Amino acid sequence: MFTGRCPTAPAEPRSALDRYYEGRGLACMGWGTGEGAVQFYVNGDDGRSGHRHADPLNLILFAGGREL
């Protein structure tokens, strides 16, 4: 959903990230760029800051432009 105008051109392909966000308990690991990129997120935050999840550990994988 867009809150403004719909983009007129597709977004530039981005490289996958390898980064650790210490204050959030979030680690990002990725391989590749564009459509072939794979991105894996590990969120071990206890939920005391920001928003909470029902579980203290979330594992999320994106590949081929889809969440798996």
Q: Residues 8-61: pLDDT tens digits? A: 777 677 788 889 988 778 899 999 888 788 999 988 766 666 666 666 788 899
pLDDT of 19: 92
Q: Are 60 and 38 contacting, i.e. CB atoms less than 8 angstroms apart?
A: no
- Confidence band for 64, pLDDT divided at 50, 70 and 90: confident
Q: Model's pTM, two decimal places?
A: 0.62
Q: Is it the case that residue 2 has pLDDT exceeding 60?
A: no
Burial (CB count within 10 angstroms: exposed 0-12, middle 13-18, buried 19+), residue 42: middle
pLDDT of 40: 93
- Note the residue count of the chain: 68
Give me the sign of the Cα torsion angle 25, 31, 33, 34.
negative
Measured distance CA(68)–CA(66) in Å, rounded: 6
